[in-house]
Amino acid sequence: MKNILDKNQNKANEVRSIMRDKKVTMINLISSPGAGKTTLLERLCERLAGRFRLGVIEGDVTTDRDAQRLKKFEIPLVVINTGGGCHLDSYSIFRVLEYFDLENLDVLFVENIGNLVCPTAFDLGESFRLAIVSIPEGDDKPAKYPMLFRQARVVVLNKIDLMHHTNFSYESFLTDLRKINPGVPLFRVSCTNGTGLDEFTLWFEKQVHTF
């Protein structure tokens, strides 16, 4: 396992070096299945289109359903099917970079496999990690799956519109998160009704080209 992680880290460093050279900001989106990675990408593509040149790598165990949802944006889009694998690794990213014209790209989103555990162990060479967690999953996720929340440069708390239909305690969530990652920016959003997305997009725009 250590050997696998060491090799992954070396290749991730190579990817990161390419991205810096080409001035591409690469974001690794990690969450549980169904927390809203693809929906957040849809909202970001709508808001950033015309101002930034975007690309997406869609990681999926099987199917290209998420990619189908993004096709309407007519941006460079590559699907990686892991064939049962539980995470993306830096080798899989490296192999698909040739399909992108990196000279003409500002932002490369990587949607990882829906999984709060395994993807956290594999550096992809990203500029930063974006953790998404959603209200119906419960307020205990930072405490129970601390790895992701410790590494995240930003946390998006999605499906805020469902808050009043659940027993989610924002106070409890925040207390646990602050213990694990005291300074991490946190955005409360609803990708279905739009709440909080302007604030998040504003923050996001400031990150582009700063790595």
Which residues bind to a second copy, rule: CB under 8 A? 32-35, 60-63, 65-66, 84-86, 113-118, 121, 134-138, 140-141, 143-147, 159, 161-162, 165-167, 192
Beta carbons of 50 and 107 less than 8 angstroms apart: no
Beta carbons of 108 and 55 less than 8 angstroms apart: yes
What's the chain's length in residues? 211
In whole angstroms, the minimum distance from the beta carbon of 26 to a second copy comes to 23
Beta carbons of 110 and 126 less than 8 angstroms apart: yes
In whole angstroms, the minimum distance from the beta carbon of 5 to a second copy comes to 12
In whole angstroms, the minimum distance from the beta carbon of 70 to a second copy comes to 14
Closer residue to a second copy (CB): 8 or 134: 134
In whole angstroms, the minimum distance from the beta carbon of 68 to a second copy comes to 10
CB atoms within 10 A of CB 143: 15
Closer residue to a second copy (CB): 4 or 202: 4
Closer residue to a second copy (CB): 51 or 194: 194
In whole angstroms, the minimum distance from the beta carbon of 101 to a second copy comes to 29
Closer residue to a second copy (CB): 102 or 163: 163
State whether residue 13 is helix, strand or coil.
helix
Would you state the structure tokens that stand for residue 117, as one six-digit string? 């555990």
Distance between CA atoms of residues 23 and 128, nearest Å: 14
Closer residue to a second copy (CB): 16 or 43: 43
H or E element in which residue 144 lies: helix 141-144
